[in-house]
Structure 1
Amino acid sequence: MKEKRFSELLAPAGNFEKLKTALYFGADAVYLGGKDFSLRSFADNFTADEMKRAVETAHAAGKKVYVTANIFARNADFSALSDYFRFLSEIGADAALVTDAGVFAAARAAAPALKLHLSTQANTTNKYAAKFWYGEGAERVVLARELSVAEISEIRDFCPELQLEAFVHGAMCISYSGRCLLSNYLAGRDSNRGECVQACRWKYEVRAEGASCPVEEDARGTYIFNSKDLNLIGHLKELSEAGVDSFKIEGRMKSAYYLATVVNAYRRAFDRLAGKPSAFSDADIFGELKKCAHRDFTTAYALGENEKTVNYADSQTKGTCDFVAEVKEGGECSALVEMRNRFRVGETLEILSPTDTCNQKFVVDSLCDAEGNPVEDAKLVQQTLRIGCPYLLRAGDILRRPVADKK
């Protein structure tokens, strides 16, 4: 067995609120993008001031911030890129993620003190490439999703000083580690410049002149390019023993509820592996991941070759719980919440929290608006409400409703 290394739980942050959600539910670090040079142009992303505040917020909590600058750059990008890397160094970003060799060199020249992580877009699938990037000054390589645990172990043995980061959960691409041309071809939006329209998630048909023919795969559907979602929560121990340092969750475009659910589950899985007391069994933790929207799960290539990575039946499965409210001000008998989906007095809600109250259920027996007027039906979008609850709620907790209990 290899020497035990640190295990970092790394979460996406599409905006400042999601950053706070990730940190609250147990992420050790977050990755985020600015308004330029990031591969998620349609996330809210961060202005310069927001990014500075994000770094300060994370550091105050003892957490880290990695900033993505992982586009495939063109000549015209470089003067602004150099200024950007100097800015990241000045605000104390813990690292920048880059893909392109020219961008890597520009970052080294503009901001020598800024640590660099090589993005998964660089397709690091072998130990020789990993060794090369370490020699160039990369602190960490984000491995391609196509690698098995055994291959990761070989890379660790060959590059013992290099930090290794691996995706463990979330959406996957039909192309090698996201290097897709389909979006550009069909919609004129370059996925390698952050503008992917996720054309792989569309339904497809065969069209002849004047006629169209549905495409079916064993009568299961037409989603012939639609990858399943990666889920390696049951294999964290093997990945850790293989030498993975940072365990990455995909999803800067996902909702805050998705982020809270997934980060909470992985935090509890890591705590169990560390021998910390937990009321959650392995089955409980896996069940948590089904409570938010997801596609069918796959271990992809972590355990070896796998042909069952495409979700032919549909694009996405609705989770087993609805996100109905976020706690804004906690309390022992009642709390101030912000409505996110309609719910009513008499319904049973469940608590999502990083604390021991997680998964506790209670019946809504009292509800009133900000002026103290009784409310029977919370149907006004983002209305502030006071809700009675027999459990201690904290700001940042989430209230969800099991779908089976929905009236």
Structure 2
Amino acid sequence: MTVKQALKRPEVLAPAGTLEKLKTAIRYGADAVYIGGNAYGLRSRAGNFTYEQMAEGVAFAKAHDAKVYVAANMVTHEQNQAGAGEFFRELRDVGISAVIVSDPALIEICATEAPGLPIHLSTQASATNYETLEFWKEEGLERVVLAREVSMAEVAEIRKNTDVEIEAFIHGAMCISYSGRCTLSNHMAMRDANRGGCCQSCRWKYDLYDLPFGGERHSLTKNGTTEEFSMSAVDMSMIEHIPDLIQNGVDSFKIEGRMKSIHYVSTVANVYKAAVDSYMADPENYVCKQEWIDELWKVAQRELATGFYYNTPSENEQLFGERRKIPEYKFVGEVLSYDEITKMATIRQRNLFELGDEIEFYGPGFHHFEQVVTEMYDEEDQSIDRAPNPMMLLTMPVVQPVQPGDMIRKRK
């Protein structure tokens, strides 16, 4: 059997904090998306879905041969389980492909009160060995999202010893706490991170101060804008290690970021879709393209590393001191329509841009081109020299055909 025949194509799984992001992720290549419902999730501010929005999202996904999963991975306290049975039945009946859960109580409720709804184990449950995966298999779960602390060697060992589906994070923010189980937010802002209220205390800026009684505080480091003290981890990117992930049996490539923008979701889904397709087409001659790496840096908010896959992160995987790489692009608009006769595109503005700016258009399938803004017109067809108002509609000539849903960005 050849390498190509033996390998299974992994699912590209993208985050979708809103219905708009769901549709964007799928258009840009995601095989599946994960969303939050109105309860039991860990992103209370992520624009979670109503049942009606879920139904629309599921219909859109099915039309594009994609799946929708719902994260219900909170740690429950007494009374938090009230209504869970009805919640899971609604998810099942609306057509959700699986629910992602960490709390054993919610797993039991889902299995008994919503039979037929597949259950995936959340990364919050810290699955780090194949015996754990086998345990959850006996409990009826078909997929496990591995703890982010698992190494690539451990992924290989897990795959050799179990047939449970493996989902693993391959891109996005890394939580400083083990498998995301943090209580900093509880103590510092009285918001329970494990019940959806994380205030991201680890991302705050810290310093060392003297606090004279009755006086103003003064920095003892006098570091200005430099960040000397940090609990903030760099982000993960595994774009350069697609072969390792596929050859070691990862079934689903999970991208973090339900609170990120459609710029982020579209770009990252586009890149990993292209990389997976390229590898599966010819694994023996696969090469990671520099353009994929460059593309991911266009939406990176922090520096990038490989997490725990190849070594234990050190101080080099922490954010402190001067920024070693600064994001260079910002999202400025999206294409709503294109007139093939006039070569004019109708655009919804997302950030300020103006005449003379060099902008980049990109779309699904890694279609890119750049041009200079030479003309713009408002909704009254009046010539304008800048687009300053959020979400305003405008038209402009484009040098290549574009499609609805294509995105526009410019270098900062």
State the TM-score, normalized to the length of structure 1: 0.93
Q: Gaps spanning 5+ residues in structure 1: where?
A: none
Counterpart amino acid of residue 387 in structure 1? M
Asked whether the equivalents of residues 357 and 392 of structure 1 are also in contact (C-alpha less than 8 Å), the reply is no
Deviations 1:196-238 (A, max 9, x none): 0110011112345425545699x96234201000011111110
Counterpart amino acid of residue 194 in structure 1? G
Give the 3 Å change call, closer, same or farther, for CA 331–216 of structure 1 in structure 2.
Answer: farther
1:176-187 matched pairs, under 5 angstroms:
176-187=178-189
Give the 3 Å change call, closer, same or farther, for CA 363–44 of structure 1 in structure 2.
Answer: same
Counterpart amino acid of residue 327 in structure 2? G
Asked whether the equivalents of residues 204 and 214 of structure 1 are also in contact (C-alpha less than 8 Å), the reply is no
Q: Using the TM superposition, give the Cα deviation of residue 5 of structure 1 relative to its aligned residue in structure 2, in angstroms.
A: 2.0
Counterpart amino acid of residue 342 in structure 1? L
Match of 2:208 among 192, 206, 209: 206
1:153 aligned onto 2:161: no
1:232 aligned onto 2:242: no
- For the residue of structure 2 that corresponds to 1:261, the secondary structure is helix
- For the residue of structure 2 that corresponds to 1:385, the secondary structure is strand
Counterpart amino acid of residue 203 in structure 1? K
1:262 aligned onto 2:279: no
1:362 aligned onto 2:371: yes
The residue that corresponds to 2:363 in the other structure is 353
Q: What is the CA RMSD across the aligned residues, in angstroms? A: 2.2
- 2-structure distance, mates of 1:195, 1:316: 30
Q: Which piece of structure 1 moves more, 299-308 or 83-92?
A: 299-308
- 2-structure distance, mates of 1:194, 1:316: 31
Asked whether the equivalents of residues 168 and 247 of structure 1 are also in contact (C-alpha less than 8 Å), the reply is yes
1:247 aligned onto 2:256: no
Counterpart amino acid of residue 119 in structure 1? S
Q: Using the TM superposition, give the Cα deviation of residue 366 of structure 1 relative to its aligned residue in structure 2, in angstroms.
A: 2.2
- 1-structure distance, mates of 2:222, 2:244: 37
Give the 3 Å change call, closer, same or farther, for CA 260–317 of structure 1 in structure 2.
Answer: farther
The residue that corresponds to 1:310 in the other structure is 318
Q: Using the TM superposition, give the Cα deviation of residue 33 of structure 1 relative to its aligned residue in structure 2, in angstroms.
A: 0.2
Deviations 1:258-290 (A, max 9, x none): 1112111212211221237xxx96111000011
1:13-32 matched pairs, under 5 angstroms:
13-32=16-35
Counterpart amino acid of residue 388 in structure 2? K
1:119 aligned onto 2:122: yes
- 1-structure distance, mates of 2:174, 2:103: 21
How many correspondences in the alignment? 398
Asked whether the equivalents of residues 331 and 393 of structure 1 are also in contact (C-alpha less than 8 Å), the reply is no
- 2-structure distance, mates of 1:22, 1:205: 39
- 1-structure distance, mates of 2:123, 2:324: 24
- For the residue of structure 2 that corresponds to 1:183, the secondary structure is helix
Give the 3 Å change call, closer, same or farther, for CA 336–122 of structure 1 in structure 2.
Answer: same
Share of identical aligned residues, percent?
Answer: 39
Asked whether the equivalents of residues 367 and 375 of structure 1 are also in contact (C-alpha less than 8 Å), the reply is yes
Deviations 1:29-86 (A, max 9, x none): 0000012111000111111111111111111111000001110012312231111001
- 1-structure distance, mates of 2:135, 2:400: 54
Moved runs in structure 1, 4+ residues, more than 4 A?
Answer: 211-217, 314-318
Give the 3 Å change call, closer, same or farther, for CA 331–317 of structure 1 in structure 2.
Answer: farther
- For the residue of structure 2 that corresponds to 1:392, the secondary structure is coil
State the TM-score, normalized to the length of structure 2: 0.92
Asked whether the equivalents of residues 271 and 366 of structure 2 are also in contact (C-alpha less than 8 Å), the reply is no
Deviations 1:98-143 (A, max 9, x none): 0011111110001110000000000111111111111111110000
